[in-house]
Structure 1
Amino acid sequence: MSLFKIGIPLSILVVGILSSCQSKMTKDKLRENIASVLQEQPGLYAVAFKDLSTGEEVLINERESFHAASTMKTPVLIEICRQVVAGKFSLTDSIVVHNEFKSIVDSSLYTLDKKEDSEQELYNHIGEKRSVSSLAYDMIIASSNLATNMMIELVGARNVTQTMRNLGAKNIQVLRGVEDSKAFQQGLNNTTTAYDLMVIFEKIAKGEAVNAEASQIMIDILLDQKFNEIIPAKLPKDVKVAHKTGNITGVNHDSGIIFLPDGRKYILVLLSKEATDENAAIEAMASVSGMVYDFVVRSKK
């Protein structure tokens, strides 16, 4: 019988799980506890956790394909840095802000709806110049769709996907920018798995995404993330999270690097789809993040 469905709040369920595991928890027990929380929620969830100090992993539905939503903006950021290092352009180069893009289906033009974008200020500056670094920053921390489409136009979606392959992420697929409705209607969407996002965030954390300097630039941007309802929500304030979220109807994602005050760090990816109660899904995933943190902290004791 489902505890959640008969009216026991998720918070009580999580407290019960944690209080029953005050001794040192194994990763198998952690996996079991995570599954207990997530199975109470409608929809499908994926988890990929890796402790970079011990190498321990907990993986649930890690190879399941999800609509990437805005998590694809991290691969785009990596490709921006790769091309900067390759000398194709500079972070200080400027681009004229515009809102007209070509569909990957037939090259017909489309525009973005300002009201559908989480960052709207940039639309007030169409026709003006903005630096690549400024656009990349807005793409990540405010999840600007307008900035994202300009960055994909700059670096090329195919190049983003190829760089993911080179990094070992075999199933991240970046095909297009945002709001390409013709592509969407044909099922041409950006996709990812929890495992692949774990792979690329581990590369960033280890200074291996392009190089150490570029990886640190990416971390500094990701640390400024404005949307903090999932991974950071139940963590202590002195824990830093360099992460990127993603959200569309029925889909809520978060993925990133968690930095503990003692210098340890771990990767956590939480993906969901077909969720009928967004708030409950977010609460459940935030609780999972808290459980993972408790596991990592206790593992040192």
Structure 2
Amino acid sequence: MELEKRLSVILGQADGTWGVVVEELSSAQGMRFEHVPDELFIAESVIKVPIMAAVFAASEQGHFRLEDQLALRQEDLVGGSGVLYALSPGLKLTIRDLVTLMIIQSDNTATNMLIDLVGKAQIDQTMIDLGMRRSYYSRKLMIYPLDVTDNNMITAGDIASMLGQITTGSYLSLRACKEMIAIMKKQQVRNGLPSQLPSQEETIHPAWELPCKSGWDTGRQHDVGLLYTNNRCFSITALSKDVTSQSALHTLGLLGRAVYDYAIVRY
């Protein structure tokens, strides 16, 4: 298949180690491409997607409402991505707003507040329910407790399973899945998979949406998401290690564009 060949060429020329899964979810006979799907990668902020799912699960189980508010505490404040660390303790935000900040700005303070809210057991069970068999959650973001030496870990195959369940509405409820995707559509960090897609103002190209979530640190650059275009939907999971940011972001852009070009063939 032409897309499989193109993806293989891109990865063959890429620096570092990659775990990639691309799957068409809009057709029962859709294509699936896998490259090192079972290798574990440090999750970075991609772990925030199953944390979001855990929050929605706890809400549907009646533990709280997404409209409930949490107060920002001094001890919640951690650095890295996001804006909450720069705001004043005492600020109240709804749980839904915290989820939104966690996803679209990768806010670490919001993430840790939500982890405290639902607990590790809820996150662990959610990952099992999403078919994430090898991946696991170990600790909060930007916090390194002495008794926890493991990082949060994921595989491309597990993330693809998670995206498939959310996209098809088979996790929790169709309403919950649609809301999670709607949050991801507001993503503000778009320098990976969407970076080489045509401008939405270029009317000669079919329109597209790519709700996504990235994660990065020195030597690692991930991006995972859902490409909607031409009445088709593809999940794209791309995890990397032993790479420079510039090189990895270029590869991510190539992968996103390859899937887009394939998706619009029947346009």
Q: Same fold (TM over 0.5)?
A: yes
| 1:124 aligns with one of 75, 87, 90 | 87
Instruction: State the shift of 1:61 in Å.
Output: 0.8
> For 1:167 and 1:282, how far apart are their aligned partners in 2?
27
> For 2:148 and 2:8, how far apart are their aligned partners in 1?
34
| 2:214 aligns with one of 238, 245, 249 | 245
Instruction: State the shift of 1:292 in Å.
Output: 1.7
> For 1:145 and 1:47, how far apart are their aligned partners in 2?
25
Instruction: Give the partner amino acid of 1:164.
Output: M
Cα gap change, 1:206 to 1:189, in 2 (>3 Å): same
Cα gap change, 1:99 to 1:173, in 2 (>3 Å): farther
> For 1:130 and 1:150, how far apart are their aligned partners in 2?
11
Instruction: State the shift of 1:252 in Å.
Output: 0.7
Write out per-residue CA displacement over residues 181-206 of structure 1, whole angstroms, 9 at most, x where no aligned residue: 235x9531111011111111111111
1:292 equivalent in alignment to 2:255: no
Provide the secondary structure at the position in 2 that maps to 1:188: coil
Which is greater in Rg? 1
Instruction: State the shift of 1:33 in Å.
Output: 2.8
> For 2:197 and 2:114, how far apart are their aligned partners in 1?
32
1:56-95 mapped onto 2 (5 Å cutoff): 56-95=31-70
Query: Which structure 1 residue ranges, 4+ long, deviate > 4 Å from structure 2?
Result: none
Q: TM-score, normalised by structure 1?
A: 0.81
Identify the residue that residue 110 of structure 2 maps to in structure 1.
147
| 1:281 aligns with one of 221, 231, 248 | 248
Identify the residue that residue 20 of structure 1 maps to in structure 2.
none
CA contact (8 A) 1:80 1:155 kept: yes
Q: Percent identity?
A: 28
> For 1:96 and 1:56, how far apart are their aligned partners in 2?
46
Write out per-residue CA displacement over residues 5-50 of structure 1, whole angstroms, 9 at most, x where no aligned residue: xxxxxxxxxxxxxxxxxxxxx1xx4333323222333310111000
Identify the residue that residue 204 of structure 2 maps to in structure 1.
none
> For 2:92 and 2:148, how far apart are their aligned partners in 1?
34
> For 1:64 and 1:272, how far apart are their aligned partners in 2?
10
Deviates more, 1:208-217 or 1:166-175: 166-175
1:1-301 mapped onto 2 (5 Å cutoff): 26=1, 29-52=2-25, 53=27, 54-100=29-75, 112=78, 114=79, 117-182=80-145, 187-236=149-198, 237=200, 238-260=207-229, 262-275=230-243, 277-298=244-265, 300=266
Instruction: State the shift of 1:157 in Å.
Output: 2.1
Unaligned runs of 5+ in 1: 1-25, 102-110
CA contact (8 A) 2:58 2:122 kept: no
Instruction: State the shift of 1:121 in Å.
Output: 4.3
CA contact (8 A) 1:152 1:176 kept: no
Instruction: Give the partner amino acid of 1:128.
Output: L
Aligned residues between the structures: 258
**Cα RMSD, aligned residues only:** 1.7
> For 1:232 and 1:41, how far apart are their aligned partners in 2?
18
